[in-house]
């Protein structure tokens, strides 16, 4: 579907897929079309054997301002509860697809990542942010709840920190997001594009099978009892040992050690 995207710009180079939200006039707000295209983009990325890393960006001054409120108001006012549920679950299915895709997705956040936009970044496996980026989950100010985003945050941060973020609804800096463990790296604005490219290239240069198994392991043990998590880890260990990358890597190490 990449060739008919209306809301996303799509580029592939050296194993890195860059999907750029392209609604700058709407600050890349998430309407139904954008969510559908993003879901398809993640599916396309997951099925491309040559693609190792996806970078998710925003065109214009912001990463993503959240849900398209015009559409949200219309659906809430004119639709029955089941239609509203279907609309909400469309975003939920995108988040699930991002988590189930066993290749890394990196959010490159500049400007504002607010409400659903912050949720979209949180749904990625890693976030790299420009120094001036701002985040926030301000839905409470509209009498709304960042419900699905909370499911993501609960797996990233402590519950008391999350309670503060979603009930006060304040905005916070990239440095604060890094300090709480939400953002992996913060880079100066002037170096942002080159830093994102370098970060993605570094990740793409790692063993593709090992990176995929790391993601499968990390999310596969989520919520398991300790004994079950160890058993799952042992299964992944066995799978990793059988991969050509692992066998070649062990062989290189042994040969180097014997020099």
The residues that are catalytic are 139
C-beta separation of 239 from 207 below 8 A: no
| CA dist., res. 148 & res. 116, Å (int) | 9
| CA dist., res. 8 & res. 35, Å (int) | 10
Q: Burial level of 186, CB count in 10 A (0-12/13-18/19+)?
A: buried
Q: Which residues contact 221 (CB under 8 A, 6 or more apart)?
A: 228, 229, 232, 233
| CA dist., res. 109 & res. 70, Å (int) | 24
**Number of residues in the chain:** 259
């Amino acid at each position: 579907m990449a060739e008919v995207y209306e809301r996303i710009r799509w580029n592939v180079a050296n194993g890195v897929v860059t999907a750029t939200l392209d609604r700058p006039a709407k600050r890349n707000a998430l309407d139904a079309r954008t969510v559908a295209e993003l879901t398809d983009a993640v599916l396309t990325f997951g099925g491309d054997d040559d693609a190792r890393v996806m970078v998710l960006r925003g065109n214009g001054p912001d990463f993503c301002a959240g849900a398209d409120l015009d559409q949200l108001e219309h659906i809430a006012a004119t639709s029955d509860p089941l239609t509203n549920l279907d609309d909400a679950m469309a975003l939920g299915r995108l988040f699930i697809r991002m988590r189930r895709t066993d290749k890394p997705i990196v959010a490159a956040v500049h400007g504002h990542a607010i409400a659903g936009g912050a949720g979209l970044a949180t749904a990625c496996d890693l976030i790299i942010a420009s120094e001036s980026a701002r985040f926030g989950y301000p839905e409470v100010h509209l009498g709304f709840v960042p419900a699905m985003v909370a499911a993501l945050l609960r797996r990233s941060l402590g519950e008391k920190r999350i309670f503060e973020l979603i009930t006060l609804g304040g905005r916070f800096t990239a440095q604060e997001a890094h300090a709480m463990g939400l953002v992996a790296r913060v880079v100066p604005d002037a170096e942002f594009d080159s830093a994102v490219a370098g970060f993605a290239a570094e990740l793409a240069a790692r063993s593709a099978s090992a990176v995929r198994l790391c993601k499968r392991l990390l999310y596969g043990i989520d919520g398991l009892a300790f004994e079950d998590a160890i058993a799952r880890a042992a299964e992944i260990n066995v799978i990793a040992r059988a991969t050509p990358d692992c066998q070649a890597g062990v062989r290189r190490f042994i040969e180097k050690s014997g020099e």
